[in-house]
C-alpha cells in the first residue's frame, strides 16, 4: 500500500538511487525520478507527489529556479519541497526558505535523517 509519493529531482543518477533507497526505510513510499528541473516540473504536475526532494545545483535549471516555477503553478505550489545539497552550499538557504522550502539536507545524507525529515513533513501535513 502506497502511503506517500515522492519525486526526486537530481541530475546525478547515483544520488537519485541513494535517496530512493533511503526512502525505502519508511515503507509504503512510491518514488519517481527526474534528471533535471524541466522534467521535474512536468512530473510534479502530472504525478502530484506528496513531497519533492530537489537538488539545489543542477545544470540548465537549478533548484531555486525549479522551486520558483513550482510555486507559480497553482497545481504544484503547495507541494512540500526539501532541498538536497553538498556541504558548504548553505548560502542559498535563505532564498530557499523565502520560496517555501521546508528543509535542506546535506549530501551525502544519512538514511535515517532523510526518513525522519519525511516523517515530520507528513505529520505536519496531517495536522493542517
pLDDT at 128: 47
Residues sharing a CB contact under 8 Å with residue 63, sequence separation 6 or more, in sequence order: 9, 37, 54, 55, 56, 57, 83, 85, 96
C-alpha cell at 103: 528543509
pLDDT of res. 95: 72
Q: Which helix (H) or strand (E) holds 31?
A: strand 29-34
Considering the entire predicted model, what is its pTM? 0.86
Element (H, E) at 117: helix 111-127
The pair phi, psi for residue 127, each rounded to 5°, is: -80, -20
The C-alpha torsion from 38 through 34 and 96 to 117, rounded to 10°, is 160
* Third-level CATH fold of 4-127: Rossmann fold (3.40.50)
Q: Quick one: angle between helices 63-72 and 37-47, nearest 10?
A: 30
Q: Parse the chain into domains and list their residue ranges.
A: 4-127
> What are the pLDDT digits (tens) for 36-86?
999 999 999 999 999 999 998 898 899 999 999 999 999 999 999 988 887
Amino acid at each position: 500500500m502506497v502511503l506517500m509519493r515522492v519525486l526526486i529531482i537530481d541530475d546525478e543518477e547515483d544520488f537519485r538511487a541513494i535517496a530512493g533507497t533511503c526512502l525505502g526505510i519508511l515503507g509504503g513510499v512510491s518514488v519517481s525520478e527526474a534528471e533535471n528541473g524541466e522534467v521535474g516540473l512536468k512530473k510534479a504536475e502530472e504525478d502530484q507527489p506528496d513531497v519533492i526532494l530537489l537538488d539545489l545545483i543542477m545544470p540548465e535549471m537549478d533548484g531555486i529556479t525549479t522551486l520558483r516555477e513550482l510555486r507559480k503553478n497553482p497545481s504544484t505550489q503547495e507541494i512540500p519541497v526539501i532541498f538536497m545539497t553538498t556541504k558548504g552550499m548553505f548560502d542559498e538557504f535563505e532564498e530557499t526558505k523565502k520560496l517555501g522550502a521546508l528543509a535542506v539536507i546535506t549530501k551525502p545524507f544519512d538514511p535515517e535523517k532523510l526518513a525522519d525529515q519525511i516523517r515530520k513533513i507528513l505529520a505536519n501535513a496531517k495536522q493542517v
